Structure 1
Amino acid sequence: MKFSDADPALEGFINTVHVDKTNNLWVGTDKGLLKYNGAHWLHYTDTSGLNSNKIAYVENDSNNNIYILTDKGLQKHENNEWKTIDVYKLNQKAITKMYIDNNDNIWFLTYSNGAYKFDHTNWEHFDSSNGLSDNWTLSVIQDKTDNIWIGGAEGIDFFDGNSWKNYLGNIINHPNTLYYDNNKLWVVTIGGGYSIFDGTNWTTHNRASGFVSNHVQKIEKDKDGNVWIATYSKGIIKYDGENYTYYTDENGITDQVWTSFIDSKNNIWIGTSELSAAKFDGENWSYFNSDNSPLLNSVNDIFEDKDGNYWFATFNDMWNGLICRYDGEIWKTFTPLDKGSVDKILQDSKGNIWFAYSFTDSKKNEIIVKYDGDRFDIVSLSTELPEDTIFSDFKNGIYTIYEDKDSLLWFGLGEHGVLTYDGEIWKHLTKKEGFPWSGVRDIIQDDEGNYYFASDDQGVFKWVVNHDDIKTQVQKKVPFNTFPNPVKDVLHIKNDNVLIKTTQVELYDVNGKLLYTNYYHSNYELNMSSYPKGVYIVKLKYFNYVYT
């Protein structure tokens, strides 16, 4: 069964889909809640009992009662009525997941305050102070023996009903932003601190190694050589090469810093998730919020254009974003798109300012806006890309914008690769061009023209690109070591490149017949004991590279 724009009920941005115990389909949108019973649609809105039309999550309990979470709180559908439930002190905008377990407890995961459990009478709060490995929680599931498993930024947490056990993950698997300086690649990871790659070795700075925070958002260097480290739990930190200086809520700024920016005057700006923005001139902090500016609560990005104007990507929730410009005295606001979160800002070498959005009109794929100094032009990817492009690939918006040394613009997608724009032609790089099928959070180019990409599910990878056709060139060094040869029982495959996360192994006989295939992470042991003695071919694939 397929639903499309032809179905009159399917209007608005779809945030969640849920199937209840009697196979009814529930669709949460920003224009209400839809129910499909297999034949007819039923539309619930704020005129029929909902406290808001913006539906974030839908779940059902063991009695098939429906619970919804909106931007105005929690509601239960019972006896054909919607009843509002007090949600304690929860910030609905900070919730990453709602889940109802086998005992009808309702769990709420958040990106900054851990997890909450509600048994319909009492609330329990779990965070890093009483069992969780981290306060950034993303996923939850209950096993057959009623244990709760929570996936977070640092790993997996196990709860047996009484106590927690932590299983920490690989810190390099979730890179967020990249910074390149003095032939060193700095990688900021989600929940893993930051790591520095000198071309041979990795050095990691996180809580386990003595650094104060695992939640690093961005790294930049000022004109004096100081490195500024923006964190989501410990404010912003200055590192002069020997000592760390901490700027936190004790200095009047929030500990939860989303982004940072160093302007032409060497001032450090920060965007936060609670108190809008602040500027530090080396001695004093200046604060910008709703009292003295049009900025909304959260600031995703800050940028200074060539004329010295400051641009802010700001939002209240995922649907309501705003572009703000500040010339040092006067503020001006722009809303080129009716809805959506403004995430990134960049000015290209021609003077155009680009804005990247998420949570916009998924039908038109309007996630890019260009400002030429006079007007805003909205880029609809439905018209700029070929007709056979799968437009739903762009539903999560854009993580990053980057201009390379040849003035080619790169846009890292929330899902499935990147877009490029040379001033005339848009291209979507996918598996066909050798690009991994994943979200790209950041892009950077080194002094030799090589590209580094921080991706959601491929770690950090290096790409050598020919701009004429944007094809991947052959990597010279073989990143694998296989032994022994000849093989007795087990062939050991060792990955010598930490940038490679997922590899496919294939085993062929001398006639080219495929005997075995599998995917693995890190190192692998291929059991050959069940195959007759003879000559076999092993093929290893990662990205678009193939080694035999």
Structure 2
Amino acid sequence: MRYIFLLIFISIFRLHSQTITNYTVNDGLLDNFVECITVDINDNIWIGTSIGIQMFDGVNWTIYNTSTYPEIASDNVSVIQAMSNGDVWIGTDEGVSVFDGINWVTYNSANTNGVLNNQVKSIDEVNGGVWVGTISGVSYLIDPENPSWSSITPPDLHWSGVNSTYFDGNTTWFASPLGGITHYENSIFTVYDTSSGLLSQNVTDLLIDPLGKKWIGTGGGISVLNSDNTNFTQHTKMYLLSPPDTLNPVVDLEMDSYGRIWAGIYVGYLAQGGVAYWNGIQWNDYDVTDGLVGTNIRDLAIDSQDNIWIATSTGISMISQIAYNLLDYQTIELIYPNPSDGDINISTNQEYTDLSVYNNLGQCVFSAIDTYTHKFKLDLKFLPRGIYHIVLTNNTTITNYNLLIK
């Protein structure tokens, strides 16, 4: 029987290694310096470069630029985002353009009720609506069929603009290049910055995991804000550098279907970078020594098969067949056996009234309201193999356990 206590680490298992496939101009890429990358609903890969846009269907490369499509705002594309309806949006220094599969349409500050500023920093989607972060704030289009833009500007948002927008139920989170993050709820804007515990004012990206934790990429690493927005956990060494250098500036954050958090990292003054993922227990990283095409990581995207697509200044890499390493497994109190066949014992130091079990997609697969105190058994043998999160709550406490069912 295997016991796991707080701060006691045990090696559990290691699965097969990943495969890395690289693409450059020699393979049909438009330009090796790829600024941004996204995956559409058909798993086509879209990239943005300084000389146009390209789509890769796994075999063929298709180019879109202002020479053949003069409706495109600019060939110098810094942001690209595929939407759930199949549309592809690009951001440039001359506005945004959208491709519906046939036609391109551009929106900029010259349009009546157009985007706030032509210099676009991010494009995000919620419920079919489009949110465009710019250097002056954010513009949003609730109904793309009725293209009338609204905007949020300083002083509600920081004057440095918006690098990312993310949605948590009915509330909205904004990432700022120089002002931390801003939470909008019930007509109130609340700022979280270094005075609140954030690693850096320079926020490059953010996402929210299925448990409601906010993963915030910054110029100094990743800050994770808990679900009730009261406490930060810091990650500063996701990608290992040679001593004494430890700085991990985050370029992009993504989450795969297993709930793993992926970070693109590039240290400009060292010209070193790579990607790393958090499996709930520890960080694992990849760089050129593992086969990535380059060090200058620009953007990340994940397809439906959980392949990781990485845009760099020297081409594109795809990581597939990713190893699922569960090393240094730990829990808050005592849970055994772990790994388990689903028949587990839990010991706690307080009484709980609610128990929920989530898979790594954030789906609740079991819940019960009862009195859980000190030692109790839990039968989860009906669940398939995988990693699960057991959440125990009472009026004052939320406790999370990680469980591996083998």
Report the TM range for the smaller structure's normalisation.
0.5 to 0.7
- Specify the code of the residue in structure 2 equivalent to 1:240: D
Aligned residue number for residue 91 of structure 1: none
- RMSD in angstroms over aligned alpha carbons? 2.6
1:456 aligned onto 2:313:
yes
1:214 aligned onto 2:78:
no
Aligned residue number for residue 324 of structure 1: 182
1:340 CA displacement = 3.5
Q: Please tell me whether the aligned partners of residues 137 and 157 of structure 2 are also in contact (alpha carbons under 8 angstroms).
A: no
Gap change, CA 1:339 and 1:356, over 3 Å in 2: closer
- Partner Cα distance (1:357, 1:254) in 2: 23
- Specify the code of the residue in structure 1 equivalent to 2:276: L
Q: Out of 227, 243, 246, which is 2:106 matched to?
A: 246
1:432 CA displacement = 4.6
Q: Deviations over 1:211-244 (max 9, x none)?
A: 43112233334454433222222x1223222222
Aligned residue number for residue 196 of structure 1: 55
Q: Deviations over 1:74-106 (max 9, x none)?
A: xxxxxxxxxxxxxxxxxxxxxxxxxxxxxxxxx
Gap change, CA 1:456 and 1:340, over 3 Å in 2: farther
1:373 aligned onto 2:237:
no
1:465 aligned onto 2:321:
yes
Gap change, CA 1:208 and 1:344, over 3 Å in 2: same
Q: Out of 123, 134, 147, which is 1:272 matched to?
A: 134
Q: Please tell me whether the aligned partners of residues 416 and 436 of structure 1 are also in contact (alpha carbons under 8 angstroms).
A: no
Aligned residue number for residue 285 of structure 1: 149
Q: Please tell me whether the aligned partners of residues 211 and 227 of structure 2 are also in contact (alpha carbons under 8 angstroms).
A: no
Q: Please tell me whether the aligned partners of residues 309 and 326 of structure 1 are also in contact (alpha carbons under 8 angstroms).
A: yes
TM-score, with length taken from structure 1: 0.47
Aligned residue number for residue 97 of structure 2: 237
Structure possessing the higher radius of gyration over alpha carbons? 1
Aligned residue number for residue 44 of structure 2: 184
Task: Give percent identity, aligned residues only.
Answer: 24
Aligned residue number for residue 302 of structure 1: 165
- Specify the code of the residue in structure 1 equivalent to 2:189: W
1:325 CA displacement = 0.9
Note the residue ranges of structure 2 that are not aligned, 5 or more in a row.
Answer: 1-28, 267-271, 327-406
- Partner Cα distance (1:249, 1:385) in 2: 39
- Give SS of 1:350's match: coil
1:357 aligned onto 2:204:
no
- Give SS of 2:245's match: helix
- Specify the code of the residue in structure 2 equivalent to 1:467: A
1:467 CA displacement = 1.5
1:434 CA displacement = 3.8
Q: Please tell me whether the aligned partners of residues 163 and 204 of structure 2 are also in contact (alpha carbons under 8 angstroms).
A: yes
1:408 aligned onto 2:260:
yes
**Where has structure 1 moved over 6 Å in runs of 4 or more?**
none
- Partner Cα distance (1:188, 1:421) in 2: 27
Q: Please tell me whether the aligned partners of residues 393 and 416 of structure 1 are also in contact (alpha carbons under 8 angstroms).
A: no
Q: Deviations over 1:148-178 (max 9, x none)?
A: xxxxxxxxxxxxxxxxxxxxxx842111222
1:311 aligned onto 2:168:
no
TM-score, with length taken from structure 2: 0.62
Gap change, CA 1:201 and 1:423, over 3 Å in 2: same
Q: Deviations over 1:175-210 (max 9, x none)?
A: 122211213111122x12210011112111123433
Aligned residue number for residue 69 of structure 1: none
Q: Please tell me whether the aligned partners of residues 137 and 153 of structure 2 are also in contact (alpha carbons under 8 angstroms).
A: yes
- Specify the code of the residue in structure 2 equivalent to 1:287: S
Aligned residue number for residue 106 of structure 1: none
- Partner Cα distance (2:243, 2:294) in 1: 13
- Partner Cα distance (1:196, 1:262) in 2: 20
- Specify the code of the residue in structure 2 equivalent to 1:309: T
1:369 CA displacement = 0.4
Q: Out of 299, 309, 321, which is 1:442 matched to?
A: 299
- Specify the code of the residue in structure 2 equivalent to 1:439: N
Q: Please tell me whether the aligned partners of residues 312 and 324 of structure 1 are also in contact (alpha carbons under 8 angstroms).
A: yes
Q: Please tell me whether the aligned partners of residues 37 and 48 of structure 2 are also in contact (alpha carbons under 8 angstroms).
A: yes
- Partner Cα distance (2:304, 2:164) in 1: 25
Aligned ranges 1:96-175 → 2 under 5 Å: 171-175=30-34
Note the residue ranges of structure 1 that are not aligned, 5 or more in a row.
Answer: 1-169, 361-366, 471-548
- Specify the code of the residue in structure 2 equivalent to 1:421: W
Q: Out of 381, 389, 392, which is 2:245 matched to?
A: 392
Gap change, CA 1:401 and 1:338, over 3 Å in 2: closer
1:299 CA displacement = 1.1
- Partner Cα distance (2:292, 2:99) in 1: 35
- Partner Cα distance (1:199, 1:345) in 2: 29
- Partner Cα distance (1:172, 1:261) in 2: 25
- Specify the code of the residue in structure 1 equivalent to 2:55: I
- Specify the code of the residue in structure 2 equivalent to 1:188: G
Aligned residue number for residue 545 of structure 1: none
1:393 CA displacement = 6.0
1:301 CA displacement = 0.9
